[in-house]
Amino acid sequence: MEGVDYLADERKKTEFDVEEMKIVWAGSRHTFEVSDRMAKLVANDPVFRKDDRVMLARKDLFKNTLRKATYAWKRINELRLSEEEASKLRSFVDEPAFTDLHWGMFVPAIKGQGTDEQQKKWLPLAYKMQIIGCYAQTELGHGSNVQGLETTATFDPQTDEFVIHSPTLTSSKWWPGGLGKVSTHGVVYARLILDGQEHGIHGFIVQLRSLEDHRPLPGITVADIGMKFGSGAYNTMDNGLLRFDHVRIPRDQMLMRVSQVTRDGKIVQSDVPRQLVYGTMVYVRQTIVQDASIALSRAVCIATRYSAVRRQFGSSNGGPETQVIDYKTQQSRLFPLLASAYAFRFVGEWLKWLYTDVTQRLQANDFSTLPEAHACTAGLKSLTTSVTADGIEESRKLCGGHGYLASSGLPELFAVYVPACTYEGDNTVLMLQVARFLMKTVSQLGSGKPPVGTISYMGRIEQLMQCRCAVKKAGDWLNPNAVLEAFEARAARMSVSCAQKLSKFSNPEEGFAELSADLVEAAVAHCQLIVVSKFFEKLQQDIPGKGVKRQLEVLCGVYSLHLLHKHQGDFLATSYITPKQASLANDQLRELYSQVRPNAIALVDAFNYTDHYLGSILGCYDGNVYPKLYEAAWRDPLNDSVIPDGYEQYIRPLLKQQLRVAKL
Ligand SMILES: CCCCCCCCCCCCCCCCCCCCC/C=C/C(=O)SCCNC(=O)CCNC(=O)[C@H](O)C(C)(C)COP(=O)(O)OP(=O)(O)OC[C@H]1O[C@@H](n2cnc3c(N)ncnc32)[C@H](O)[C@@H]1OP(=O)(O)O
Ligand SMILES: Cc1cc2nc3c(=O)[nH]c(=O)nc-3n(C[C@H](O)[C@H](O)[C@H](O)COP(=O)(O)OP(=O)(O)OC[C@H]3O[C@@H](n4cnc5c(N)ncnc54)[C@H](O)[C@@H]3O)c2cc1C
């Protein structure tokens, strides 16, 4: 039955202009056009096939990734793709590769922390991929605690060189992507030692492998760290280990935008704050927030389409059973994830703007917004990746048994995605950074320095500590001001409560450690407020297209009210709402689910994902799930023969033995 759209009836129910929603989702008509073109380019090229990935052994998998990455690079050059087009192409290839770290961390580290001269020397080589780089920060013994790294870079004034050394086993670099088998160079983070004195952690460009024969250079030990979680998944990446035995590099290979080491071994600090050594992480965390909406929307697209296809129970007079998407329980698990995907898309868009703004300011030596940019990128990275990882797993469960099949696409998506909760900063560690920022803000209230940006609500602290929710009926929860005030009051009260408890400790660091679980909850409340408020800000923009804005209003309501329902303990405990008002919020939420229901399929169609990109039989556009599952089963290598390998050796003797036992 080729060409039949099994979801056509669902698509007929749509109450808004899907083509216009595609533009909103993409960010602009231009971005939509680029994205659509690159998605089709990848989907129509057999080299980018990925349905066999989970079956491949590690060596074949890795070689396959090398082949795809090299071919992608060839196509990028042949077609003279812009950076934007190349980056979209890479995301539709949908396979973690060494190129991610080269373009996503090595190049940005040199751009952000290198002097003009260093950029001039290294960037052209990196842009042409004549050198391939990685970001070698984490060690076997230390990841979160960057100041605890043990690798040393000792200046030798005799030769004008740094000596890079791994003094202990735990100082071995461990995890850097692209390092294990591919990178020729790395930005290596190490403790700077000048004349026996330590001067903190700095980045150094170190050549690791020969550009002639790819062998490790003298003094360097390098290898892959081994198989990771899941089949296929992140095993396409060569995360590596690296040890240095007194490796010498020229002095001008220390990245010197933040601090310089002079010929006579003295350190000179520039005006740039030392935190800029962490700048690459701020950049990548911001991209991770944008990627969260992509990963979550993929999972939700699969679960939504399948929930409309799948029927269980409720048949009367031999008629069709109920579509599982019509069960309120299914809706209450699925629609908040759909709304979260849209919410993360818009907060990601805003965060990109914030990052661009802070970068421009840094170039003009204005460092004032750096702490807020750090708090926002750290907090939103933590929040969005945690929700997305959990959301992918929930989507798998929403698809019942078939969600557990590799061909649903969900197991691999989860396995690839879940390390995002750990890399670029463990999510708890990052929330604690947000909590520090919040406690600092509260302690400075009344100092005459009004809080700005995402923290400006703290400037109305007296009002937010006293106000009470005015909601009287369920529909009042549709008022953006009511919702915003609720989230502001909750976040402000949780922060103030933590600050009050902290003030009782004579040693603030001890207090911070003791209260850290409460502090993380306050930080989560602050980050959820940012997402909710950026969704409302998006709705204030001019949004064309029949019914598009209306749908987004419904999704914004679902996003904020499901959070209010889920965290009602916070809202009640801080005495902003009453139990009755919490119950009214839940009534309104149920009503909103009914409004999402007819538009659910169209809302996931608006992501504009090709079947190739989704990589899921359950999520295919035409909804023709069962014949495809049946065909896919027959393609499994186990079904190559009727009698399995091993029958003669194991099954037959076993059966024979059973027969003998039976005869006795
Ligand atoms: C296949 C085809 C390919 C074809 C090619 C096509 C090419 C196209 C382009 C492709 C592009 C691809 C893009 C891909 C994207 C990249 C993918 C990423 C994959 C992921 C890889 C993972 C990498 C990593 O994980 S790297 C390692 C990350 N490590 C961490 O995150 C460590 C976490 N720890 C920390 O950040 C810190 O140590 C911290 C903050 C926890 C504590 O530090 P501290 O010094 O001890 O800090 P503290 O005393 O608390 O703070 C001091 C002070 O500094 C402030 N601070 C801290 N951090 C920052 C910061 N980052 N920025 C600014 N300020 C910061 C902090 O607030 C304190 O301030 P004050 O309170 O004012 O003193
Ligand atoms: C797939 C993947 C790719 C990676 N790629 C790279 C790369 O390219 N380059 C690179 O340099 N690194 C890379 N990493 C390393 C990554 O950045 C670190 O693993 C990450 O920063 C977490 O650090 P950790 O492993 O030391 O965790 P730990 O800090 O050891 O965390 C263990 C536990 O301790 C808790 N914990 C730690 N500190 C605190 C605290 N202060 N308070 C409360 N709880 C705490 C954490 O919440 C966690 O539960 C990668 C990691 C993965 C998984």
- Per-residue pLDDT for 29 more than 80? yes
What is the percentage of the chain residues whose pLDDT exceeds 90?
94
- Per-residue pLDDT for 271 more than 90? no
pLDDT at 657: 83
Residue nearest (by alpha carbon) to ligand 1 atom 15: 104
Cα 649 to Cα 651: distance, rounded to the nearest angstrom? 7
Residue nearest (by alpha carbon) to ligand 1 atom 35: 144
Give 151's strand partners.
Answer: none
Cα 175 to Cα 181: distance, rounded to the nearest angstrom? 12
**Predicted ipTM?**
0.97
- What is the CB < 6 Å shell around ligand 1? 68-69, 72-73, 76, 86-87, 90, 93, 97, 99-100, 103-104, 135, 137-138, 143-147, 177, 275, 278, 281-282, 284, 287, 370-371, 374, 423-425, 429, 433, 436
- What is the CB < 6 Å shell around ligand 2? 101, 135-138, 143-144, 175-177, 234, 239, 419, 422-423, 425-426, 428-429, 432, 516
Q: State the average pLDDT over residues 507-519.
A: 97
pLDDT at 3: 77
Q: Which ligand is nearest to the CA of 147?
A: 1
- Render pLDDT for 180-217 as a digit per residue (tens, 0 to 9): 999 999 999 999 999 999 999 999 999 999 999 999 99
Residue nearest (by alpha carbon) to ligand 2 atom 45: 429
Helix axes 480-502, 516-539, angle to 10 degrees: 160
- Per-residue pLDDT for 274 more than 70? yes
CB distance 131 to 125 below 8 Å:
yes
- Per-residue pLDDT for 479 more than 70? yes
Element (H, E) at 198: strand 197-207
List, in sequence order, the alpha helices (H) in 364-456.
370-398, 410-417, 427-444
| Burial degree of 584 (CB within 10 A; 0-12, 13-18, 19+) | buried
Please name the amino acid found at residue 154: T
CB distance 170 to 150 below 8 Å:
yes
Number of residues written out for the chain: 664
Q: State the average pLDDT over residues 315-340.
A: 96
What is the percentage of the chain residues whose pLDDT exceeds 70?
99
Please state the atom number of ligand 2 nearest to the C-alpha of residue 134: 8
Q: Is 58 helix (H, G, I), strand (E, B) or coil?
A: helix
Residue nearest (by alpha carbon) to ligand 2 atom 29: 144
Q: State the average pLDDT over residues 353-369.
A: 93
Mean of the per-residue pLDDT values of the chain: 97
- Per-residue pLDDT for 2 more than 70? no
Q: State the average pLDDT over residues 487-506.
A: 98
Q: State the average pLDDT over residues 462-469.
A: 97
- Render pLDDT for 208-265 as a digit per residue (tens, 0 to 9): 999 999 999 999 999 999 999 998 899 999 999 999 999 999 999 999 999 999 999 9
Its pTM stands at 0.97
- Per-residue pLDDT for 318 more than 50? yes
pLDDT band at 149 (very low <50, low <70, confident <90, very high): very high
Cα 400 to Cα 423: distance, rounded to the nearest angstrom? 30
pLDDT at 448: 87
pLDDT band at 1 (very low <50, low <70, confident <90, very high): very low
pLDDT at 223: 98
Cα 331 to Cα 598: distance, rounded to the nearest angstrom? 12
- Render pLDDT for 429-455 as a digit per residue (tens, 0 to 9): 999 999 999 999 999 998 988 999 999
Distance 377 CA to ligand 1 centre (A): 9
- Among 144, 179, 515, name the best residue to mutate to test ligand 2's pocket (greatest count of ligand atoms within 8 A of Cβ): 144
Please state the atom number of ligand 2 nearest to the C-alpha of residue 426: 22
Q: State the average pLDDT over residues 626-638.
A: 97
Distance 282 CA to ligand 1 centre (A): 5
Q: Quick one: which of 17, 28, 29 has its CA closest to 549?
A: 17
pLDDT band at 317 (very low <50, low <70, confident <90, very high): confident
Q: State the average pLDDT over residues 166-192.
A: 98
- Per-residue pLDDT for 664 more than 70? no
Cα 657 to Cα 343: distance, rounded to the nearest angstrom? 61
**What does R_g of the chain's alpha carbons equal in angstroms?**
27
Question: Hey, which residues are catalytic here?
Answer: 424
pLDDT at 363: 86
- Per-residue pLDDT for 97 more than 50? yes
Structural domains for the chain: 133-270 (2.40.110.10)
Residue nearest (by alpha carbon) to ligand 1 atom 30: 425
Q: Is 184 annotated as a binding residue?
A: no
Paired tokens of 598:
């007819």
CB distance 134 to 160 below 8 Å:
no
Measured in degrees and rounded to the nearest 5, phi and psi for residue 166 equal -105, 100
pLDDT band at 148 (very low <50, low <70, confident <90, very high): very high
Q: Is 511 annotated as a binding residue?
A: no
Q: Which ligand is nearest to the CA of 508?
A: 1
